[in-house]
Structure 1
């Protein structure tokens, strides 16, 4: 069980846009994030009031809190993109951390149809914001992690894909689990983003195909052919299970860690990298 994580509310305002390499993966990320929101919305249509009030997999939050957060973070990130298109910036959440908490609580008690409407409205606003950004540029600066609008899209992708699996028993019963919904593109992204939670590099071996990567605070890179668990702790597991472990979620099968051929504990993870400037 994990505590809810937050988008960084720090109201920083960079004067110059960070220099980011052009990216050709943004259309695919948009499509997968939209697919995640559709899957979440369809799952909500199968819930009743009892399920909406049931515990989620996040400590202290009901299913309704998770849904309220997804809709709210969608609006907040759309606002980041809308302002960036005008050459403006603002804190991620109006009212900062206190406004975020109050908004989530206020929306948690919505009916099923009200949750569906809120998610749909956020999705519509995000689509319009991304279309606007296609015209004005994805490298415009935002306050979110002192990054760019491209980083805001990455954040939305993580938020909707991860939180769609946080509905507890209500979500698991409808197949909303990491192993069922996180594709390799997304799990690779999580390894890169969440490597900051590791104190040093580890060797990750993907169970599906044996692909080997070094994951750590500097991100993810292909492992050298001669890399072994004599040099680094080796974490072996299915792609979604390794990503779920790094994301603080329950994997279907816990990844196995070894060093020097002997089984060891999985590395200790630092807090979620909220507020950490984007790694360039």
Structure 2
């Protein structure tokens, strides 16, 4: 996770005010919107961690998704320097709370996805690497760490129809959706499979015997594990 934060900082180090206003890979969002989201996402997870370390449950946003969206819209127009400064400050704050966590603390419940504090680290890991691709500043899915890509497949597997098998040929791993009879097989590189499942453009598209299956909604409450921090 720390590697992801440092990579993001390097990625935006030379960002200009003009580049901030340009379109990102996400429809309707400029790069400023993506940076605003990444910055406030760090602030939100720090808020959750601060309360979890005190044994308290708190919502990520008291005002729900409307508050989240309003913050992004309000702060997207910052200058490049302001984006860098705010991102650095909130990232440092989040890492400081994580550094205080003990083995017991990682299992403390949080409201985010009705999970535990450890799950927020994995969520931030996904957010950082996936949205770095959305910034279109040079990071592509094939730059993702292999373990991040495998984790993303674990997390997003529920987007596929029951029985689907996913085979990452380059790392020799296979996933199956549900306990039903085997269905369609989708094969590709682990990073390309992760990008496809995340709704991003793979470097090389995964393949199936017929057309690729349609993806369902983002998983609401996936299981998480601390063994890939």
Q: TM-score, normalised by structure 2?
A: 0.91
Aligned to 1:194: 156
Report the alpha carbon displacement of residue 244 of structure 1 after superposing the two structures with TM.
0.2
Q: 1:247 aligns with which of 198, 212, 222?
A: 198
Aligned counterparts of 2:222 and 2:15: Cα–Cα separation in 1: 37
Alignment pair present for 1:105 and 2:73: yes
SS in 2 for 1:248: coil
Give a deviation string over 1:240-271, Cα, whole Å, max 9, x none.
1110000000011111112xxxxx01111111
Distance 1:267 1:139 in 2: 35
Distance in 2, matches of 1:113 and 1:94, equals: 29
- Structure 2 portions without partners, runs of 5+: 225-229
Show the counterpart of 2:124.
156
Contact kept in structure 2, 1:198 and 1:216, CA below 8 Å:
yes
Structure with bigger RCO (C-alpha 8 Å, 6+ apart): 1
Query: Is the partner of 2:133 in helix, strand or coil?
Result: coil
Which whole-Å CA distance do the structure 1 matches of 2:72 and 2:82 have between them? Answer: 14
Matched, 1:267 2:228: no
Equivalent of residue 83 in structure 2, options 107, 112, 115: 115
Q: 1:214 aligns with which of 152, 160, 175?
A: 175
- Quick check: 1:82–1:132 contact (8 Å CA) kept in 2? no
Residue 231 of structure 1 and its aligned partner are, at CA, apart by: 3.8
CA distance in 1, matches of 2:153, 2:37: 23
Structure 1: gaps (5+ residues) = 1-32, 219-229, 259-263
How much does 1:120 deviate? 0.7
Does the 8 Å CA contact 1:51/1:63 hold for their aligned counterparts?
A: yes
* Counterpart check, 1:183 vs 2:145: yes
Q: How many residues align?
A: 223
List per-residue Cα deviations over 1:51-89 (Å, max 9, x = no partner).
111110111100000000001011101111110111111
Aligned to 1:10: none
Shift of 1:202: 2.2
The aligned runs of 1:131-142 (5 Å cut-off) are 131-134=99-102, 137-142=105-110
DSSP-derived class of the 1:125 partner: helix
Whether the aligned pair in 2 keeps the contact of 1:36 and 1:164 (CA below 8 Å) is no
